[in-house]
Amino acid sequence: MTNILFEDAKPIIKKIKEQGFEAYFVGGSVRDYLMNKDIHDIDITTSATPDEIESIFPKTVPIGKEHGTINVLFNNSSYEITTFRTEEEYVNHRKPNGVVFVRDLYEDVKRRDFTINAIAMDEEYTIIDYFNGKADIEAENIKTVGHAEERFEEDALRIIRGLRFQSQLAFTLDNKTFEGMQSKIQNIEYLSIERIIVEFKKLFSGKNVAVSYNNLIRLNAFAYIPFFSSYNMTKININEPLPFNLFIALIQHKLTNDNAQLSHLKISNNEKKEIQTYNNLLNSLQNINTKQQLKLLIYDYGLHYNLTILSYSETLKLNEITLPSPIIYNEQLIREVAHEMPINNRSDIDISGKDLIDSLKQRSGPWIKEALRNIEIAIIDGQLTNFKPKILEWVKEHVKI
Ligand code: ATP
Ligand code: MG
């Protein structure tokens, strides 16, 4: 069987070989191909040095040249080509900057984390499998290349990666690999939180997350990770894939109200905002008993977040978070209310703060915000039409300054 992505990349491998070097597909794409799964991106490994790759291809970007990776632009696609390299020496659990390039494929695959990720394949789909990765794919087994304890000592991120693959692929962890994880779990504290989160996002969206999450708890992994280490994570139960940000919001909602802790995750402001939105929504849900209240909830948080929360009701239940009654909080009603919403945000109101100041002949102040909130509530409630003269009339009657 062939695959379109590999077919497209074949000429690259051929070109490198024409110059007398070796080149192979490697890593996740080969693993996924052997599992008959969709392939998203292709990694190529080669005996050519980055300088040699740059001289072979006219369009290149040195994205990680010091580590051996060059991006080659070819037929409107871009391919990561990395020079064979050996496991670098680790000092104080950190990778030093220098890397050692080698000319031997075996040395390159030997430094890779798991046997299922250490399979190389040439352009004729011939497999070069020094560590029996194919047999481990067939046995659905996650096993380190070489001695587990040593490999996790070199780089503890591999522990999290192993659990991430267990979640995504629904494979079992080899016994020795799990024991290696147990003995090196404390080393997680040396990792940067950014690297952990990249893997966590994949772990939490994997179909087998229930088992992987359980293993994170069994290994006491959270105790060594910033943010999570402040909480009793055994109180959080996960048995279905969910967005990472919702997972964080769940922790916040159940175990803390301290937003400052979020900064330890070093995530973007947008992500923080999303977590806050989930958390505020979870708090607001506790008071929804009528359709009027539902309308305001959907106005405030939008259709997307409400449907997302609703779709994770099993997880919420499992964590003892109660949703409003299904008579009020169900997909049909949520969609209907969203569809009939007279305004979607404050800028849709047919009046501005300035209009209020002018017509009420008042000085600017906090009353404006309060008045606008009351106006939007009245519009959403259906008590007030979103039409400037009507709103002004209503304001004169209802707004006390
Ligand atoms: P995905 O399909 O999610 O991209 P992947 O296996 O390609 O999975 P990547 O993180 O893209 O994972 O890494 C590419 C390859 O690089 C891996 O398959 C593995 O061979 C190697 N690798 C990545 N991280 C490590 C690590 N920390 N230690 C050893 N090898 C690693
Ligand atoms: Mg990859």
Q: Tell me which residue has its CA closest to atom 25 in ligand 1.
A: 113
- Nearest atom in ligand 1 to 112's CA: 30
Instruction: Look at residue 97 in the predicted model and tell me its pLDDT.
Output: 64
- Tell whether residue 31 is among the known ligand binding residues: yes
Distance of CA 43 from the midpoint of ligand 2 (Å): 7
Q: Find the ligand nearest to 142 CA.
A: 1
Q: pLDDT per residue over 77-121, tens digit each?
A: 999 999 999 977 777 776 666 789 999 999 999 999 999 999 999
| CB of 113 shorter than 6 A to ligand 1 | yes
| CB of 108 shorter than 6 A to ligand 1 | no
Q: Which of 169, 228, 233, 224 is nearest to 202 (CA)?
A: 169
pLDDT in tens, the chain (401 residues): 679 999 999 999 999 999 999 999 999 999 999 999 999 889 999 999 999 999 999 999 999 999 999 999 999 999 999 999 997 777 777 666 678 999 999 999 999 999 999 999 999 999 999 999 999 999 999 999 999 999 999 999 999 999 999 999 999 999 999 999 999 999 999 999 999 999 999 999 999 999 999 999 999 999 999 999 999 999 999 999 999 999 999 999 999 877 788 999 999 999 999 999 999 999 999 999 999 999 999 999 999 999 999 999 999 999 999 999 999 999 999 999 999 999 999 999 999 999 999 988 888 899 999 999 999 999 999 999 999 999 999 998 887 77
Distance of CA 79 from the midpoint of ligand 2 (Å): 11
C-alpha angle 192/193/199, rounded to 5°? 105
| CB of 155 shorter than 6 A to ligand 1 | yes
- Tell whether residue 373 is among the known ligand binding residues: no
Terminal-residue alpha carbon distance, the chain? 75
Candidate from 87, 93, 112, 200 with most ligand 1 atoms within 8 A of CB, to mutate: 112
Distance of CA 306 from the midpoint of ligand 2 (Å): 33
DSSP 244-313: HHHHHHHHHHHH---GGGGGGG---HHHHHHHHHHHHHHHHHTT--SHHHHHHHHHHHHHHHHHHHHHTH
- State residue 173 phi and psi, 5-degree precision: -85, 130
- Nearest atom in ligand 1 to 168's CA: 3
- Tell whether residue 363 is among the known ligand binding residues: no
- Tell whether residue 161 is among the known ligand binding residues: yes
Q: Tell me which residue has its CA closest to atom 26 in ligand 1.
A: 113
- Taking CA atoms, 64 is separated from 107, 139, 196, 254, in Å, by 20, 35, 20, 41
- Tell whether residue 41 is among the known ligand binding residues: yes
DSSP E strand boundaries for 101-170: 120-121, 127-128, 141-142
Q: Find the ligand nearest to 113 CA.
A: 1
Which structure tokens are listed for 212? 């992987």
Task: Based on DSSP, count helices (H) and strands (E) in the chain, helices before strands.
Answer: 18, 9
| CB of 151 shorter than 6 A to ligand 1 | no
| CB of 146 shorter than 6 A to ligand 1 | no
Q: pLDDT per residue over 185-226, tens digit each?
A: 999 999 999 999 999 999 999 999 999 999 999 999 999 999
| CB of 27 shorter than 6 A to ligand 1 | yes
| 148 CB-near residues (< 8 Å, 6+ apart) | 174, 176, 177, 179, 180, 181
- Nearest atom in ligand 1 to 40's CA: 2
Evaluate whether 313 touches 330 at the Cβ level (below 8 Å): no
- Tell whether residue 38 is among the known ligand binding residues: no
Strand partners, 26: 43, 120
- Tell whether residue 94 is among the known ligand binding residues: no
